[in-house]
């Protein structure tokens, strides 16, 4: 079981890695617009020194540079998809942030957020069900925090993950 402080530290480290990937530029200075597309617990590694690494950019996509290789193919682990991934829609960096939110929820509660009998049921839940607050699943209760970034947080408008560090 992770303490809330440890869960927040892990999440902040991954946010930092995502911010780096999301603003990465090519040799000509053009934004790559990278999206990891598979942010999940199995892709987070803890180093011997306690550092957190986001690994397996194997399904990452530069949104403007690579065409779909398979129409309708789902990339990433089903229980950590964003609603846009589950619908097969165009993705941006917010998809990775949604997936990281699922990871943080699970770190705080030590439960799976989206665990259903089939992939279809899981994707339906991701699209249509609001997750319960982590504090409703953990004792002692977690401090009250916003369930989503504040309305004025730049993340809501597609800004880099690093732009809303106060959340």
- Give catalytic residue positions: 38
Distance (Å, rounded) from C-alpha 146 to C-alpha 131? 13
**DSSP, residue by residue, 73-91:** ---S-GGG--HHHHHT---
Distance (Å, rounded) from C-alpha 43 to C-alpha 99? 12
Residue 164: is it exposed, middle or buried by C-beta count within 10 angstroms (0-12/13-18/19+)? middle
Residue 81: CA count within 13 A, CB half-sphere: 27
* 126 Cβ contact list (under 8 Å, min separation 6): 81, 82, 83, 86, 114
DSSP state of 141: P
Helix (H) or strand (E) holding 104: helix 93-109
């Amino acid at each position: 079981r992770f303490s809330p402080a440890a869960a927040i530290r892990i999440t902040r480290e991954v946010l930092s890695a995502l911010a780096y990937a999301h603003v990465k530029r090519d040799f000509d200075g053009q934004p790559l617009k990278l999206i990891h597309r598979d942010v999940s617990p199995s892709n987070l590694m803890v180093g011997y020194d306690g550092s957190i690494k986001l690994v397996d950019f194997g399904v990452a996509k530069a949104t403007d540079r690579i065409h779909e290789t398979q129409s309708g193919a789902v990339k990433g682990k089903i229980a950590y998809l964003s609603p846009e991934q589950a619908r097969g829609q165009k993705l941006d960096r917010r998809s990775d942030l949604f997936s990281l939110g699922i990871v943080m929820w699970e770190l705080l509660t030590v439960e799976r957020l989206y665990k259903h009998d089939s992939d279809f049921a899981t994707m339906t839940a991701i699209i249509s069900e609001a997750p319960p607050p982590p504090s409703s699943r953990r004792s002692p209760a977690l401090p009250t925090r916003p369930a989503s970034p504040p309305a004025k947080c730049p993340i809501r408008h597609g800004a880099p993950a690093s732009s809303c560090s106060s959340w």
